[in-house]
Amino acid sequence: MDVEQAEAAPSGIKRRGFAAMSKEKRQEVARSGGKTAHRLGKAHVFTSDEASEAGKKGGRAISQDTAHMAAIGRAGVKQRWERTRAQAAARDAAKEPTASAPLASPVTIAAEVCSS
User: From residue 46, how far is each of 7, 8, 49, 88 by CA, in Å?
Assistant: 41, 38, 8, 45
pLDDT tens column, 91-103:
888 886 555 566 6
The reply to whether the predicted model has a pTM over 0.85 is no
Q: What is the pLDDT of residue 1?
A: 45
Q: Which amino acid is at 40?
A: L
Specify the long-range contacts of residues 40-44, CB closer than 8 Å, at least 24 apart: none
Q: What is the pLDDT of residue 12?
A: 78
The answer to whether 37 touches 47, Cβ cutoff 8 Å, is no
pLDDT tens column, 14-64:
889 999 999 999 999 999 999 999 999 888 888 999 999 999 999 999 889
